[in-house]
Structure 1
Amino acid sequence: MTLDALRLEVPDILDGEAVPLADLNNRLSEARLLLLDQALQEVLGLLFRLNRSAMTLLERQRALQSFSDAYRYHARQQPVSDAPAPLFLRLCSELAIGFKRLLLQILQGRQPSRPHLAWCLYMAQHFLAQCLLRHYQLYQEPPPSLWRDSHLLYWLAERQECLDEPVAAAFQPVPASTQRGIYQQMLLLALSNPFHLADGESPILFAALAPLAETGRLLPWDDDDESEGPLVDLTDAQPCLGYGQQPTGHPDYLRRFELGALLIALLEPAPLRTAEERQVLDKVQQHWQGRQQRRHPRIDYDIPCHLISGLSAIHAQLLEQRPGRAPAHMLDASPGGAGVLCAADQAPSLAVGQLVLLLNEQSAPTLALVRWRHLNARGLHLGLRYLKGLPRPVWLRRAPSAQTHAGVLQSTPEPGNGWHHGLWLPSGQFGEGENLWLQLAGVNNQATFPLPASNLHTPEVSRYPLRLT
């Protein structure tokens, strides 16, 4: 396979007429007065027709600039950390289509200026990056065409020598400012195990990568090169070749993603980097140089089971109060965890980092953490990490007769040393060093203790190590 701009995925030109350009800005302004879903529907309808209509290069460019302004406005109306509306994802996709079609018109015309060509390549790549980000926010696999077009845009920018041409684009979350930067920002996001990220962490990571991404370099592939950086096949429909996957593409289209300078830049002082960005970068950088192999082999299953999600519901189940439970199927399991499939509408209660209790007829109730999730046509796929030990319901109080708070005590025997306990509480409910009273179910006495530092923390729950007599 050879790379060519004509391989960019764009729809056919239809015979219907687009909205007259003289009325376009008025229609876009009127859409700002509507509710968000209605506004997105109106803007998307206008853009859909424009992308399938014959227009001169200048007409299309001016129209797309107006749609880009509308995109910025409507993007501000919904928090970046929230799961995007389906119409917003479609708007990103249509904007990418619009700029890809504009790029084809530029390349088919007279010799374009480098800044003009760089701007168009960048805008097409930016909206593909937005599609990628929004898919990961929804825990959905991006379509293969997204990566085919992204690789092709990078290759075109490489051939036209405008990879490092700066482009001023005021978007949120912040993208890198060059074609090289935003493409490598996409690669790093995809390499960061995005389905393991908690809700709202994908946009934080995307913004944190913006000033770093340009320091990486895609180098020509050398068969004798023994470096371990990810390998990119520009003709493939995936971000990078998988762990242990041998390259089969033509050497001209293979690139080794050299991350040495980026990893050094990651350690340098960055006063503008927020604490949230530092935390998520620390979490994902281990994945950038190849996927780690499983610690335990997994065995395929097809076992009906149930999930009880959230600390308060687990507490109620342990007290035999029969809270609501989600039906599911265990697809595979190992000593360390399991893969589970449940209905897509369970996604709001099963965020990454949520504590769950796994119930099935073949084993005792098992406490687990949601490590990753992925949504597709079959439903919501979850990766669970088992938390070994006996779960027991407990109550916490700030004073002997104060209001009770539900907790779960995870107890594991230690040979010759009694029991090791982990106390699960909602994240942020209590502070380190705070004196608490703990009462076990069926026990009248209360034990007092200062809350230690957490040794496992997620956005949903925290675990505190305890020694109880």
Structure 2
Amino acid sequence: MTLDALRLEVPDILETEVAPLADLNEQLAQARLQPAELALQQALSLLFKLNRSAMTLLERQRALQSFSDQYRHYSKAYQGENPPTALFVHLCSELAIGFKRLLLQILQGRQPSRPHLAWCLYMAQHFLAQSLLRHYQLYQEPPPSLWRDSHLLYWIGEHQNCLDEPVAAAFTPQPANTMRGIYQQMLLLALSNPFHLADGECALLFGALSPLAELARLLPWDEDDEIEGPTIDLTEAQPCLSYAQTPEGSADYLRRFELGALLVALHEPAPLQSKAERQLLERVQQHWLGRQQRRHTRADHSSECSLAVGLPAIHAQLLEQRPLRTSAQMLDASAGGARLLCNADQAAQLSVGQLVLLITGSDTPTLALVRWRHLNSEGLHLGLRYLIGLPRSVWLRRAPSAQTHPGVLQSTPAPGNGWHHGLWLPNGQFVEGENVWLQLASAHNQAILPLPPANLVTASVTRYPMQLA
């Protein structure tokens, strides 16, 4: 199954004639003079008709900006503990429909600018988030299409490289200011057991999540990943898979919701956070990882350690060539990973997805991936995922006497007498199907092997499953 923007749920165009817009703002202003519910009904009727009428891109964009201003006006009545009316929930849904249709027009036209595309994606996601919030405030289950469209909008933003484009949008309760942030704000809200919140707490929680949501990350799926965290299937009509569900979709559309940096940030001073927000966040965070909060018992384990960062340094360390290493302090550890604290000036090289070799006083060095990171006044916090197996240095060539390229072979015993092997290489150095000559650093002979499809790709490195005699 291929995700496609045309799968966004929008109604058919019923009016082929372009709707007259010259007096739209006057009609909206006249509507405001009516009693609140009647005014909202008139504004909603106008939006409903426009969403089903043919309009140019510029006309639709201007109309939707006018209706966004109306939304700000009508939303003032539903702040605090006042529950929204069914009409207001319908307004949120219709605004989402309008921006989804505008997005389709943008994508079907000429190449859009990234800020313009990011703004439209953000606005569509924002009103889906508002629809989600308002359903939860009324203790109603959101429609399945809401999650299908939300996942699809995220996927489009991911592939158009505009998830982190900042958008200035003054709404209440406050949304995050990027596409990534507001999508993850929705996921966290859904994971917070919203039907058990008291009146008024849902909107309070949504606003409290605003400055924190971007710290989480959706990481590529890896079936060998034993680190705890919700699993997102971008093709499913639900926020995430339950712990009882086995991921069955294509790995291309599966993501692991990594919350490590967010969980660290929750315990930092936040002067702009109210006492009620802080207490609410402390209460709901237990739900974010489900009841199985950790697959491995994690214990405080304060000790000094160091890291060889990146494939070249790991390769050299395994050959005992003493490359430069990064000093760190281990704060806690488990069988699946560890949390470290490093100097803040190491942030540039220790990005999420970077391959590292963890070196402790007496233990065998452990290959690991940087799973999350968070920078604060203490320094750079890192979450490591251990890669179980024996790491070994290898050389790769495109021909027996060609230039050598360093790689790392991760070997894990398989049931019986065999081994599972994973070959780690920098991104883009070789391609799937290319024949490479592989030589272990401790051996003289070379073996020619075709590179199979990768089974894990991060922002820095790629892992290829290898069959070695």
Q: Which of the five TM-score ranges fits, normalised by the shorter chain?
A: 0.5 to 0.7
Question: 1:118 offset after TM fit, Å?
Answer: 0.1
1:37 corresponding residue in structure 2: 37
The 5 A counterparts of 1:404-415 are none
Question: 1:175 offset after TM fit, Å?
Answer: 0.2
Cα distance change of structure 1 residues 49 and 16 upon mapping to structure 2, 3 Å threshold: farther
Question: 1:32 offset after TM fit, Å?
Answer: 1.5
Structure 2 CA distance for aligned equivalents of residues 18 and 91 of structure 1: 22
1:95 corresponding residue in structure 2: 95
Structure 2 CA distance for aligned equivalents of residues 69 and 238 of structure 1: 30
Contact 1:57 1:102 in 2 (8 A): yes
2:360 corresponding residue in structure 1: none
Specify the SS of the correspondent of 2:81. coil
1:266 corresponding residue in structure 2: 266
2:158 is aligned with 1:154 = no
Specify the SS of the correspondent of 2:266. helix
Letter in 1 for 2:216: G
Specify the SS of the correspondent of 1:256. strand
Contact 2:16 2:54 in 1 (8 A): no
Q: Which residues of structure 1 form unaligned runs of 5+?
A: 294-469
Question: 1:80 offset after TM fit, Å?
Answer: 4.2
Structure 1 CA distance for aligned equivalents of residues 155 and 225 of structure 2: 22
For each residue in 1:248-289, what CA deviation from the matched residue of structure 2 results, as whole angstroms up to 9, or x when unmatched? 010000000000000001111001001110111111000001
TM-score normalised over the length of structure 2: 0.61
For each residue in 1:35-74, what CA deviation from the matched residue of structure 2 results, as whole angstroms up to 9, or x when unmatched? 1101110000000000000000000000000000011011
Question: 1:78 offset after TM fit, Å?
Answer: 3.3
Specify the SS of the correspondent of 2:23. helix
Question: 1:192 offset after TM fit, Å?
Answer: 0.3
Letter in 2 for 1:32: R
Contact 1:19 1:50 in 2 (8 A): yes
Contact 1:21 1:63 in 2 (8 A): yes
Structure 2 CA distance for aligned equivalents of residues 18 and 290 of structure 1: 50
Structure 1 CA distance for aligned equivalents of residues 36 and 268 of structure 2: 41
1:145 corresponding residue in structure 2: 145
Letter in 2 for 1:142: P
Question: 1:77 offset after TM fit, Å?
Answer: 3.0
The 5 A counterparts of 1:37-116 are 37-116=37-116
Structure 1 CA distance for aligned equivalents of residues 158 and 79 of structure 2: 34
Contact 1:114 1:162 in 2 (8 A): yes
Moved over 4 A (4+): 16-19
Question: 1:244 offset after TM fit, Å?
Answer: 2.4
Specify the SS of the correspondent of 1:267. coil
1:254 corresponding residue in structure 2: 254
Contact 2:15 2:53 in 1 (8 A): yes
For each residue in 1:344-366, what CA deviation from the matched residue of structure 2 results, as whole angstroms up to 9, or x when unmatched? xxxxxxxxxxxxxxxxxxxxxxx
Structure 2 CA distance for aligned equivalents of residues 105 and 198 of structure 1: 40
Cα distance change of structure 1 residues 104 and 16 upon mapping to structure 2, 3 Å threshold: closer
Letter in 2 for 1:254: L
Letter in 2 for 1:81: E
Specify the SS of the correspondent of 1:279. helix
Structure 2 CA distance for aligned equivalents of residues 101 and 193 of structure 1: 31
Structure 2 CA distance for aligned equivalents of residues 248 and 59 of structure 1: 43
The 5 A counterparts of 1:351-430 are none
1:2 corresponding residue in structure 2: 2
Contact 2:19 2:53 in 1 (8 A): no
Structure 1 CA distance for aligned equivalents of residues 120 and 291 of structure 2: 34
2:276 corresponding residue in structure 1: 276
1:220 corresponding residue in structure 2: 220
RMSD (Å) for aligned C-alpha atoms: 1.2
Contact 1:18 1:49 in 2 (8 A): no
Structure 1 CA distance for aligned equivalents of residues 15 and 130 of structure 2: 30
Specify the SS of the correspondent of 1:271. coil
Structure 2 CA distance for aligned equivalents of residues 60 and 88 of structure 1: 21
For each residue in 1:95-152, what CA deviation from the matched residue of structure 2 results, as whole angstroms up to 9, or x when unmatched? 0000000000000000000000000000000000000000000001000000000000
2:333 corresponding residue in structure 1: none
The 5 A counterparts of 1:321-332 are none
1:363 corresponding residue in structure 2: none
Contact 1:137 1:202 in 2 (8 A): yes
2:400 corresponding residue in structure 1: none
Structure 1 CA distance for aligned equivalents of residues 90 and 17 of structure 2: 21
Structure 2 CA distance for aligned equivalents of residues 18 and 79 of structure 1: 36
1:205 corresponding residue in structure 2: 205
Letter in 2 for 1:266: L
2:122 is aligned with 1:125 = no
Structure 2 CA distance for aligned equivalents of residues 62 and 80 of structure 1: 30
Cα distance change of structure 1 residues 261 and 174 upon mapping to structure 2, 3 Å threshold: same
The 5 A counterparts of 1:292-303 are none
Structure 1 CA distance for aligned equivalents of residues 19 and 134 of structure 2: 28
Quick check: 8-17 or 212-221, which moved more?
8-17
Question: 1:17 offset after TM fit, Å?
Answer: 5.3
Structure 2 CA distance for aligned equivalents of residues 15 and 183 of structure 1: 32
2:192 is aligned with 1:170 = no
1:286 corresponding residue in structure 2: 286
Letter in 2 for 1:230: P
Specify the SS of the correspondent of 1:285. helix
Q: Aligned pairs, how many?
A: 293
Specify the SS of the correspondent of 2:218. strand
Question: 1:18 offset after TM fit, Å?
Answer: 6.5
For each residue in 1:193-248, what CA deviation from the matched residue of structure 2 results, as whole angstroms up to 9, or x when unmatched? 00110111000000000000000000000011101110000000000001221100
